[in-house]
Amino acid sequence: MADKTGIEWTEQTWNPTTGCDRLSPGCDNCYALTMAKRLKGMGAAKYQTDGNPKTSGPGFGVATHASAITEPLRWKKPRKVFVNSMSDLFHPGIHTADLHLIFGVMAATPQHTYQVLTKRHGRMRSLLNDPQFAHMAFHRAKMYGRPDTAARTWPLPNVWLGVSVEDQKWADIRIPALMQTPAAVRFLSCEPLLGPVRLHPGQGQLPDWVIIGGESGRGARPFDPQWAADLIADAHADGAAPFVKQLGSVWARDNGASDAKGGKPADWPEHLRVREYPGTP
């Protein structure tokens, strides 16, 4: 089964693939890499493929799990699903044919909302702008039981696409690629935020949703609450929904917060207690 999660902005995780490689500074303290090593030691079947020691690690090599791909077909209750909390769906090590299957499952289960987050913005943009990719996804959806007479709406109305943004450099690279990708909802995960980021409201660059968070855990880097305040202002200026997830371990330690990750809004300055979702007032 997919896993329940403590991630505040979703309800469940689904990992049809696992494993990844560090790509940019936001990956330096990757929680998933550390967790994969622990799961490998526990004998977890999904985490027995090792990755490149320079960019990945034990149990964190890219692997696709055929039995996990079809999990959502068995879920009756609608849910909000974070896709690949332990991988990157658009990693080059994941075959396009497997992505056809995964998007086919999402097309066949319109009752669920899928949230896909990537640092591989280029491949995401290329594939999802390709009519052949959409055609193959709908072909797989028919194989999974979606009626062929069902409306073929592309982009899929139940799939949200997002990119990770840790600093201004990557914001300026990844956000334009996201905005050039067809999606029902576009979002940013500015976590871990490692420096100030401005979104240039009014220039047609903003997505629908902006998640903001400091870094937590061992080796966490500092987070300035002003970075969150600026992102909230930029989001509101262009009608996007900001969601402050946490202020990070360094802030929590320095301010005597009740949660080690700085994740309890009651501890924060009042102007940062903002948790909005796209499409809500």
Quickly list DSSP for 186-201. EEEEE-S--S-----T
Quickly list DSSP for 47-116. G-----TTTS-TT-S-EE-HHHHTGGGG--S--EEEE-TTB-TT-TTS-HHHHHHHHHHHHH-TTSEEEE
pLDDT (tens place) for every residue of the chain, 281 residues total: 457 678 889 999 999 999 999 999 999 999 999 999 999 999 999 999 999 999 999 999 999 999 999 999 999 999 999 999 999 999 999 999 999 999 999 999 999 999 999 999 999 999 999 999 999 999 999 999 998 888 899 999 999 999 999 999 999 999 999 999 999 999 999 999 999 999 986 666 679 999 999 999 989 999 999 999 999 999 999 899 999 999 999 999 999 999 999 999 999 999 999 999 998 64
Burial category of 85 from C-beta neighbours within 10 Å (exposed 0-12, middle 13-18, buried 19 and up): buried
Query: 35 phi and psi, to 5 degrees?
Result: -65, -40
Query: 279 phi and psi, to 5 degrees?
Result: 85, 5
Q: Is the pTM of this model over 0.85?
A: yes
From CA 43, how far away is CA 219, in angstroms rounded? 27
Domain ranges of the chain: 1-162, 191-281
Question: What pLDDT does 70 receive?
Answer: 97
15 torsion bin: left (phi>0), alpha (psi -120 to 50), beta (else): beta
